[in-house]
Structure 1
Amino acid sequence: MTHPIPDILQDLRDGKIVVLTDDEDRENEGDLVCAAEFCTAEVINFMLSEGRGMLFVALDGPTCDKLDLPPQAAVNTTQRGTAYTVTVDATARFGITTGVSAGERAQTIRTLADPQTLPTDLDRPGHIQPLRARDGGVLVRTGHTEGITDLCRLAGLRPVGVGIEVMNDDGTMARQAQIDELCTKHDIKSCSVAELIEYRMQRDLLVERIDTIPFTNEFGDWTLVAYRSVVDPFPHVALVCGDLAQLDGVDEPIDCGEPVLVRMHSQNLLGDVFGDAQQPSHQTLRQSMKMIQGAGRGAVVYLRHEGMGKGLLKRLQTPVPLGGSGEAEPADGPRFGESQETPGVSPPRNTMDYGIGSQVLRNLGVRHLRLITNHPFTPQALSGFGLTIDEFVPLPAE
């Protein structure tokens, strides 16, 4: 059972622990969460004894920059793209000795949340693991790191929260039933990332439609719909076929009703434009456009993302053996929301990382998707954006 977001925010203001879970219709995992500025030894002891997972602190990007918390690894290859920074302890002037006790961990966590803290107030490495949230929060990346910082910010607190994954006493991850038992036993309120997304979607939009341009290619007539995002400098576009992207008299998107054929496509310069044999995204893009024209309506959401040029630079610096093009991606290319940079050079973009694309679809009037992909999966917290995948449509074999 979950609780209204305003109730969660009030408990955070009161220094109480809450629980943040994934989508309720998923194999749920949950985190115990507390605002970092209210962290005490008692909070840490409870989290360690009842949560049992990895203790971490979620911080927004500006706070990480201010405290000089760089990434733990130069290239992040984690499965979920979790942005680990260097570990820290508060320095001895805060009474820290080993940094391990519940009281000393709580002191370090409060130090991370204190706006007066300087980089020199932290020792590196340490016993506390900070995680950096993406700008834009859960509307950009639907992870617990972003959820925790969003909840703290919405509560009017510092965007820094301490969390721990909930595990069962046998070492397995707790699921919804066990999380509900824990919440009932200790009178803890809970909410899901999907509910937080829905709450924010009623108040914050991160994409703005800026232009539409009709064009014709070999497959037929299209409309390019361009978007500006408030959280990154990259324009995103949707290639629309048929009667999508219609606005009403007050410039609100008109719901197109029936499920719509959609391809989510991350930009790949070498593959999309120049037809690089190691990057078959050009073929994937063409197949998708042909399928959409055949259906009479649909959209290709064409996404750019931060770090897009890094894979190209590394590719230019990597020699290709004569007479061979190397290992190619699967014919389908990367999955929904993943990067289409050079395989083995740039890590895949995680399926949590599709918030901007979901908001573009909402603006096009799409609510139900027939998603073009050869790799079916259920994205995390998609329901929070008001979107449902009704069908996975495979690309034809060539």
Structure 2
Amino acid sequence: MTTSVRAKVRIPLRFADGYAVEAEAVTFHGLTDGLEHLALRLGEPAEVPLVRLHSECLTGDVFGSARCDCGPQLREAVERIAAAGGYLLYLRQEGRGIGLYNKLDAYALQDGGLDTYAANTALGLPEDGRDYRPAAEMLAALEVETVDLLSNNPDKAEQLLAYGIGVRERIPTGVFASNANIRYLQAKVEQAGHRIVLPGRPALAS
């Protein structure tokens, strides 16, 4: 079944710091995983739009958890995409694809000393179980062939390319480091090649 646009609706977005912007939410028919992923159209997308694939993080996006950098990345991405014109794809892939309860179980193991990837493995789960085929399907349904990708994660670009979406440029997000998430961020650099330069630490990924 070919993926197609299901509906579009305007949503005024308001963030806790006062930033506000109008978005157009787009839903889809025919996504291969059957999940309710959402595209937010922000600004006026150019021929090559700025795009972020943002995996759902209830704890960070909604409750402001400082254990990760997801909430600040989401807030930053909305403003940057609105300025440049493009799409934020909000993907229902909680916990790098392992689900909310499993993510919280992994947090408990992290409290015992494991990093975020080792904790997933200890639970018998993939370090990163995300498949970005639905994101590529969403972009194709939006008639987007090539993107500037707002991401520090090389896997996102590699998967989009494998699924037929061109990546003209990979643009890093800001670095939102704190005492609560520094081990988490360092693990993303060392284990998954994220392009992050942490305060007081050398760059380990290009």
Measured on the aligned residues, the alpha-carbon RMSD in Å equals: 3.5
Which of 284, 304, 324 aligns to 2:73? It is: 284
Amino acid at match of 1:211: A
Which of 363, 376, 383 aligns to 2:141? It is: 363
- Look up the SS of the partner of 1:293 in the other structure: helix
Contact 1:209/1:226 (CA < 8 Å) preserved in 2?
yes
How high is the sequence identity, in percent, across the aligned residues? 28
Aligned length: 165
Corresponding residue of 1:344: 119
Contact 1:216/1:222 (CA < 8 Å) preserved in 2?
yes
Amino acid at match of 1:302: Y
Unaligned stretches of 5+ in structure 1?
A: 1-203, 245-255, 330-341
TM norm structure 2: 0.64
Contact 1:278/1:328 (CA < 8 Å) preserved in 2?
no
Instruction: Say if 1:272 and 1:367 are closer, same or farther in 2 by CA, change over 3 A.
Output: same
Which of 252, 265, 272 aligns to 2:54? It is: 265
Q: Cα offset for 1:396?
A: 2.2
Distance (Å, rounded) in 2 between the aligned partners of 1:376 and 1:319: 24
Contact 2:32/2:134 (CA < 8 Å) preserved in 1?
no
Q: How does 1:293-304 map to 2 (within 5 A)?
A: 293-295=82-84, 297-304=85-92
- Look up the SS of the partner of 1:379 in the other structure: helix
Contact 2:5/2:29 (CA < 8 Å) preserved in 1?
yes
Distance (Å, rounded) in 1 between the aligned partners of 2:98 and 2:27: 24
Are residues 1:213 and 2:9 paired? yes
Instruction: Say if 1:222 and 1:290 are closer, same or farther in 2 by CA, change over 3 A.
Output: same
Describe the superposition over 1:86-107 as per-residue Cα deviations: whole angstroms up to 9, x where unpaired: xxxxxxxxxxxxxxxxxxxxxx
Describe the superposition over 1:212-257 as per-residue Cα deviations: whole angstroms up to 9, x where unpaired: 121122341111111233543421100111235xxxxxxxxxxx52
Distance (Å, rounded) in 1 between the aligned partners of 2:115 and 2:64: 12
Q: Cα offset for 1:361?
A: 0.9
Are residues 1:229 and 2:18 paired? no
Corresponding residue of 2:198: none
Instruction: Say if 1:397 and 1:231 are closer, same or farther in 2 by CA, change over 3 A.
Output: closer
Are residues 1:382 and 2:161 paired? yes
Describe the superposition over 1:80-139 as per-residue Cα deviations: whole angstroms up to 9, x where unpaired: xxxxxxxxxxxxxxxxxxxxxxxxxxxxxxxxxxxxxxxxxxxxxxxxxxxxxxxxxxxx
Describe the superposition over 1:345-396 as per-residue Cα deviations: whole angstroms up to 9, x where unpaired: 3534367x211101111222322211011234651572653x2111111112
Instruction: Say if 1:270 and 1:309 are closer, same or farther in 2 by CA, change over 3 A.
Output: farther
Which of 35, 39, 42 aligns to 1:241? It is: 42
Distance (Å, rounded) in 2 between the aligned partners of 1:215 and 1:396: 25
Instruction: Say if 1:328 and 1:237 are closer, same or farther in 2 by CA, change over 3 A.
Output: farther
TM norm structure 1: 0.36
- Look up the SS of the partner of 1:284 in the other structure: helix
Contact 1:271/1:282 (CA < 8 Å) preserved in 2?
yes
Amino acid at match of 1:282: G
- Look up the SS of the partner of 2:158 in the other structure: coil
Distance (Å, rounded) in 1 between the aligned partners of 2:146 and 2:12: 26
Contact 1:228/1:236 (CA < 8 Å) preserved in 2?
no
Unaligned stretches of 5+ in structure 2?
A: 14-18, 177-206
Describe the superposition over 1:162-193 as per-residue Cα deviations: whole angstroms up to 9, x where unpaired: xxxxxxxxxxxxxxxxxxxxxxxxxxxxxxxx
Q: Cα offset for 1:307?
A: 9.2
Amino acid at match of 1:300: L
